[in-house]
């Protein structure tokens, strides 16, 4: 929901020639990618042997611990690579091409950032695994939870679109400031996010095993 780079991508699309169509194409593809991956993981992991009367199976605990440790490792890596005080964070090169994007390319970028980018992919897989553990053998609940998961994940990328449509001439200045802040603090925001969710997953995994 608060992953900075996808939000920046939408902000840049809103300043391009095909602002609305590209932004909405990105938003829809983002939802489909996140909800789709989470749903597939939930359905695959939520098998008959995922839990029993005694509680969740041990493998679900180990899975959470492994995913949690990976997220913590990425958090440490991001934190160590954060821009130092007074140093401007570089703008990713792919952002320079967004002005020329078509709706198809905008949708493709959403899939890459939401379901292929390792950091976001780990978060989505963690969400799918949590859904599977919470609602084993209940396909309807798993699909419903994956849809809700995807909708919540859309809040961040939808926010710039809401600002663009509701703020009129003031939107450009607000979005430009938002873009600059997110680019500069991207690694710090992601490091904190990954650390919190990673630690929670490790704790949940230990709880299952104990």
pLDDT tens per residue across span 136-145: 788 999 999 9
Question: What local confidence, expressed as pLDDT, does residue 47 receive?
Answer: 63
Give me 70's structure tokens.
């990976």
Provide the β-strand partners of residue 155.
none
pLDDT at residue 171 above 80? yes
**DSSP sequence for 156-187:** HHHHHHHHHHHSGGGHHHHHHHHHHHHHHHHH
Q: What percent of the chain stands above pLDDT 90? A: 36
Question: What local confidence, expressed as pLDDT, does residue 50 receive?
Answer: 47
pLDDT at residue 103 above 60? yes
pLDDT tens per residue across span 34-51: 999 999 999 988 665 544
pLDDT tens per residue across span 123-167: 899 899 889 888 878 899 999 999 999 999 999 999 999 999 998
The number of residues in the chain equals 210
**In 10 A of CB 167, how many CB atoms?**
13
Contact between residue 78 and residue 190 where contact means Cβ atoms under 8 Å apart: yes
Alpha-carbon gap, residue 202 to 19, rounded angstroms: 41
């Amino acid at each position: 929901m608060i992953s900075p780079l996808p939000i920046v991508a939408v902000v840049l699309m809103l300043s391009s020639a095909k602002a609305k169509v590209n932004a909405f194409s990105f938003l829809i593809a983002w939802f489909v990618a996140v909800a789709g991956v989470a749903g597939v993981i939930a359905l695959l992991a939520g098998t008959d042997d995922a839990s029993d009367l005694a509680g969740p199976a041990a493998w679900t605990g180990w899975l959470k611990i492994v995913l949690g440790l990976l997220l913590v490792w990425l958090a440490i890596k991001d934190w160590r690579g954060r821009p130092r005080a007074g140093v401007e964070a570089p703008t990713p090169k792919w952002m320079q091409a967004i002005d020329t994007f078509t709706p198809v390319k905008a949708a493709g970028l959403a899939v890459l950032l939401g379901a292929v980018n390792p950091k976001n992919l780990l978060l989505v897989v963690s969400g799918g695994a949590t859904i599977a553990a919470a609602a084993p053998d209940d396909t309807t609940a798993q699909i419903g939870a994956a849809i809700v998961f995807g909708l919540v994940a859309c809040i961040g990328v939808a926010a710039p679109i809401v600002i663009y449509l509701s703020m009129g001439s003031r939107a450009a200045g607000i979005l430009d400031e938002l873009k600059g802040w997110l680019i500069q603090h991207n690694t710090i925001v992601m490091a904190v996010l990954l650390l919190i969710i990673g630690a929670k997953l490790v704790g949940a995994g230990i709880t299952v095993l104990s």
